[in-house]
Amino acid sequence: MSQHESKPNSSERRRFLKTSALAAGGALYGGLVGTNAAAQVHANKMTDMQHGDKLPAPLGNPKSGRPAGYRDDYDGFSRFKPSRGNDPNSEFYLGKLVPGFRDVGAGPAPFVTPDLEKLPWKMVGGVKEFHLVPMAVEREVLPGYKLNVYGYNGSMPGPTIEVNQGDRIRIVVTNELPEDTSAHWHGFELPIQYDGASELTQNLIKPGKSFVYEFDIHEEGTFFYHSHIPMQEAFGSVGFMIVHPQKVFDPPVDRDLGLIFQNFFIEPSQSIADSWRMDWNWQTINGRSGPYTTPLVVKHGERVRIRIMNFSPMQHHPIHIHGHTFWITGHEGARIPHSAWVPRNTELVGIAQATDFEFIANNPGDWMFHCHMVHHMMNHMTRQVGPRVRPDQSVDAYLANLDQSPGVKLLNPDPGFKTPGYPQEMKGMEMKPDFMKRIWNRREVQGMRAMWPMSVMGLMTVLRVLPDDLYQIVMESDQPVEKGAVFAEIVRRFGNPSDYKSAPMMMHDMS
């Protein structure tokens, strides 16, 4: 079993991914943001995404085919096309126990939390020693939208603590907050004095002071740590704590991904989250909001585990994945025995709960992956009134001269208003050029449809299932990829190209 040290330098990691992609057989996942200069230059130049009714030019090499030497069919379930299997009682029904490509002997798949780092450690006297620093953090949840919250080691959510079952760990918590805090190791069966429940089990850690937590890990699965001061919890103080089992979970997965769902209340023109609010208007996944959330990019046919943890203060989240049926294989308490696994399309993940989803990525495409609460599929829901619903008005006319109002027609000329209830579709948010550049300057989104950022908002991200050659182009190369090209190629290979139309319009600020 390997010991994982985090690699905080993303450019080093990116280089490593590129140079070792073939050797690693795609088993490593580059979950960090691609920010290399070549990609940025390319994104700035991509203006030719309008193809009318034609598909963009073919991309990749369809003849590269599927990985050789792997079993495809499991009692009627195919790992390469949507299928359920022949018998619900089969252990391979819906891909339940269909293994990934990864060899069990290689140990657990690397745990990846997009947009979050891992907490480094060093071995001291046979104990894995971590240094965790609660502190005030500025988190950029969308390009240009910085949020003041609490977190750990400069990050919100905090960096992931990753250990192995059987480890003895020491976590030195040094409080850099301006107020007392404590650290609670959620779900661990540890000696009471290290439980971190403020005052019940320990004195609070004063600002500038440290407290050492040390205990043995006999559990395995998905856990997390957080401050045990309630308002600090609501202010973002949480992080993943993953324990890899001594005996690798069966069947082995190729991808092990972690997402922390949170929400906050942020007044307009404000950057400080209001932890006292009973309503929540800003949604984040691993500290980012859609469309700035980083898509989960996997290879066609891989077995994928996604661990979702809900640390919203008071909102449960029904998590829905499009195009796939997944198995619930664990909660934060424990791994679930195979016999109790449940297949689902949507799973309600309650507050302070974690749920592990596993599935075979047998359906290529860019799949919505989101909380299904309507009000969580966007940030700052606003009423559809005012200039944005008036055909001949724009806010710019108001901004042009603040001392004079451009005025309004007393009857809205939009004929839609003859229909009661109109409009229900959210209208007219402008995405600024800088914003769009930051969205597109990531390898994980290359080749997606041009309009995708308009639909991925709030507690939303994307599961990208890509054939091997397309995966390599997107994730393991710096090759320019035209907007919509990867998606069109998937349609070409797996869908019905004659029915497909590329994005109908070019957003003026997407180039």
Partner 1 sequence: MSAELGKALQAGLYPNPVLSYEAEQIGVDGPSGTSTPGEFQGGVVEQRFVTGGKLRLSREKYLRRARVSENLAMAQQFRVCNDVRIHFYKTLAASDILSIRREMVKTAEDSAVTAQESYNVGQSNRPQVRRANVVLQRARLDVLAAENAYNQAFRTLSTLVGVPLCMGMVEGALESTCPVMSFEEAYGRLLAESPQLAAARAKLAVDQATVARENVQWVPDIVVRGGAGYNFEAEETTAVAGVAFDVPLFDRNQGTVRQAQADYARQRQEIERVELELRNRLAMIYQQYLTGMQHAQEYAEVILPELKAAYRELLESYKERRVDWPDVLMAQHDYFDARLTQVDNLLHARTQEVLIYGYLLHDGLMAAPDITPPGHIDSVPKPR
Q: Verify binding: residue 410, partner 1, rule CB under 8 A.
A: yes
Nearest to 475 by CA among 23, 24, 26, 9: 26
Nearest to 161 by CA among 189, 183, 193, 181: 183
- How far apart are the C-alpha atoms of 397 and 55, rounded to whole Å? 39
Nearest to 182 by CA among 154, 217, 213: 213
Q: Which two tokens stand for residue 209?
A: 């002071």
**Which one of residues 54, 408, 505, 508 is an interface residue with partner 1 (CB under 8 A)?**
408
C-beta of residue 27 within 8 angstroms of C-beta of residue 103: no
Q: Which is nearer to partner 1, 345 or 382 (CB)?
A: 382
Nearest to 432 by CA among 142, 48, 49, 141: 142
Q: Which is nearer to partner 1, 201 or 384 (CB)?
A: 384
Tell me the window of 108-116, 220-228, 257-265, 417-425 that interacts with partner 1 (CB under 8 A).
Answer: 417-425
Q: Which two tokens stand for residue 262?
A: 């949170």
Give least dist CB 416 to partner 1, A.
Answer: 9
**Which one of residues 10, 174, 417, 469 is an interface residue with partner 1 (CB under 8 A)?**
417
Q: Which is nearer to partner 1, 314 or 385 (CB)?
A: 385
Give least dist CB 370 to partner 1, A.
Answer: 18
**Which one of residues 35, 40, 412, 455 is an interface residue with partner 1 (CB under 8 A)?**
412
**Which one of residues 136, 172, 348, 426 is an interface residue with partner 1 (CB under 8 A)?**
426
Q: Characterize 285-316 residue by residue with b for buried, 16 or more Cβ atoms within 10 angstroms of its Cβ, and e for exposed.
A: bbbbbbbbbbbbbbbbbbbbbbbbbbbbbebe
Q: Which two tokens stand for residue 459?
A: 């507690």
- How far apart are the C-alpha atoms of 129 and 252, rounded to whole Å? 28
Q: Which two tokens stand for residue 340?
A: 């109790």
Q: Verify binding: residue 272, partner 1, rule CB under 8 A.
A: no
Q: Verify binding: residue 508, partner 1, rule CB under 8 A.
A: no
Q: Which is nearer to partner 1, 405 or 498 (CB)?
A: 405
Give least dist CB 126 to partner 1, A.
Answer: 53
**Which one of residues 407, 413, 415, 504 is an interface residue with partner 1 (CB under 8 A)?**
407
Q: Which two tokens stand for residue 361?
A: 């990525």
Q: Characterize 138-170 residue by residue with b for buried, 16 or more Cβ atoms within 10 angstroms of its Cβ, and e for exposed.
A: ebebbbebebbbbbbbbbbbbbbbbbbbebebb
Give least dist CB 422 to partner 1, A.
Answer: 6
Give least dist CB 402 to partner 1, A.
Answer: 6
By CB under 8 A, how many residues form the interface with partner 1?
Answer: 38
Give least dist CB 490 to partner 1, A.
Answer: 31
**Which one of residues 405, 413, 415, 498 is an interface residue with partner 1 (CB under 8 A)?**
405
Tell me the window of 15-23, 98-106, 297-305, 374-382 that interacts with partner 1 (CB under 8 A).
Answer: 374-382
Tell which phi-psi region holds residue 125, choosing left (phi > 0), alpha (psi between -120 and 50) or beta. Answer: left
The site map against partner 1 for 230-269 (x = CB under 8 A) is --------------------------------------xx
- What DSSP string describes 158-191? EEEEEEETT-EEEEEEE--SSS-B-EEEET----
Question: Which residues make Cβ contacts (< 8 Å) with residue 167, sequence separation at least 6?
Answer: 128, 216, 217
Q: Verify binding: residue 69, partner 1, rule CB under 8 A.
A: no
Q: Which is nearer to partner 1, 417 or 500 (CB)?
A: 417
Give least dist CB 90 to partner 1, A.
Answer: 48
Q: Which is nearer to partner 1, 23 or 410 (CB)?
A: 410
- Which DSSP state fits 382? -
**Which one of residues 421, 498, 499, 504 is an interface residue with partner 1 (CB under 8 A)?**
421
Give least dist CB 42 to partner 1, A.
Answer: 27
Question: Which residues make Cβ contacts (< 8 Å) with residue 242, sequence separation at least 6?
Answer: 111, 160, 161, 162, 163, 222, 223, 258, 307
**Which one of residues 13, 388, 437, 492 is an interface residue with partner 1 (CB under 8 A)?**
388
Tell me the window of 41-49, 213-221, 323-331, 382-390 that interacts with partner 1 (CB under 8 A).
Answer: 382-390
Q: Verify binding: residue 387, partner 1, rule CB under 8 A.
A: yes
Of the chain, the end-to-end C-alpha distance in Å amounts to 45
Q: Which is nearer to partner 1, 70 or 422 (CB)?
A: 422
- How far apart are the C-alpha atoms of 75 and 94, rounded to whole Å? 10
Give least dist CB 418 to partner 1, A.
Answer: 9
Q: Contact residues for partner 1 (CB under 8 A)? A: 268-269, 379-380, 382-390, 395-396, 398-399, 402-412, 417, 420-424, 426, 428-430
